[in-house]
């Protein structure tokens, strides 16, 4: 069986899920092409900017508090558990995203950054909303 050499950068550039990495300060340090497709911001527009770029204003304080705690403690529950949250597209549209995170370690063993693998679930979320609405309508009609 032949072994295959994997170019990790090529993989991250090619996959359909966004890969976004931010430093301990919450500023974007890596932004792959899928992140551009999902959020609308080019790599140049995103690099060095705060993650607030894609976080709805109502969720920013909570996100920033959780991010700071994760960086300080070096622990997260979203390494294997999927987190589903609203996000923002460059054009102002709200998105529904799902993601996991990985904590990156520096030479001192502390957290040096946070990597997120993100999937756009807006279409699925909207379909679920419509199904719930229809179910409620049918339940009300059955009671009448």
**CATH code for position 38:** 3.30.450.20
Instruction: Check residue 26 and give left, alpha or beta (phi > 0: left; psi -120 to 50: alpha).
Output: left
* Enclosing domain of residue 60: 16-143
Half-sphere exposure in the Cβ direction for 53 (13 Å, CA)? 23
9 in a domain, yes or no? no
| DSSP string across 77-124 | STTTS-EEEEEE-TTS-EEEEEEEEEEEE-TTSSEEEEEEEEEE-HHH
pTM of the predicted model as reported, rounded to 2 decimal places:
0.82
CA triple 62-67-70, angle to 5 deg: 125
10 in a domain, yes or no? no
116 in a domain, yes or no? yes
Q: What is the pLDDT of residues 2-13, one digit of tens each?
A: 788 888 888 998
2 in a domain, yes or no? no
Q: Quick check: 130 pLDDT over 80?
A: no
Q: If you average pLDDT over residues 26-55, what whole number do you get?
A: 97
CB 22 within 8 Å of CB 28: yes
Instruction: Check residue 48 and give left, alpha or beta (phi > 0: left; psi -120 to 50: alpha).
Output: left
Helix-then-strand count for the chain, H and E: 5, 5
- The alpha carbon of residue 88 and the mean position of all alpha carbons in its chain are separated, in whole angstroms, by 11
49 in a domain, yes or no? yes
11 in a domain, yes or no? no
Burial of 24 (0-12, 13-18, 19+ CB in 10 A): middle
62 in a domain, yes or no? yes
43 in a domain, yes or no? yes
Count of domains observed in the chain: 1
Q: What is the pLDDT of residues 59-113, one digit of tens each?
A: 999 999 999 999 999 998 888 889 999 999 999 999 999 999 999 999 998 999 9
């Amino acid at each position: 069986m032949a072994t295959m050499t994997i170019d990790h950068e090529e993989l991250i550039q090619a996959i359909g899920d966004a890969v976004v990495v931010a430093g301990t300060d919450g500023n974007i340090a890596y932004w792959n092409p899928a992140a551009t497709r999902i959020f609308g911001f080019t790599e140049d527009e995103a690099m060095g900017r705060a993650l607030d770029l894609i976080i709805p204003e109502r969720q920013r304080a909570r996100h920033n508090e959780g991010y700071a705690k994760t960086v300080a403690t070096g622990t997260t529950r979203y390494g294997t558990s999927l987190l589903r949250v609203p996000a923002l597209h460059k054009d102002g549209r709200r998105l529904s995203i799902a993601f996991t995170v990985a904590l990156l370690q520096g030479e001192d063993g502390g957290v040096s950054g946070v990597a997120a693998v993100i999937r756009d679930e807006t279409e699925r979320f909207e379909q679920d909303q419509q199904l719930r609405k229809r179910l409620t309508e049918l339940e009300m009609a059955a009671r009448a």
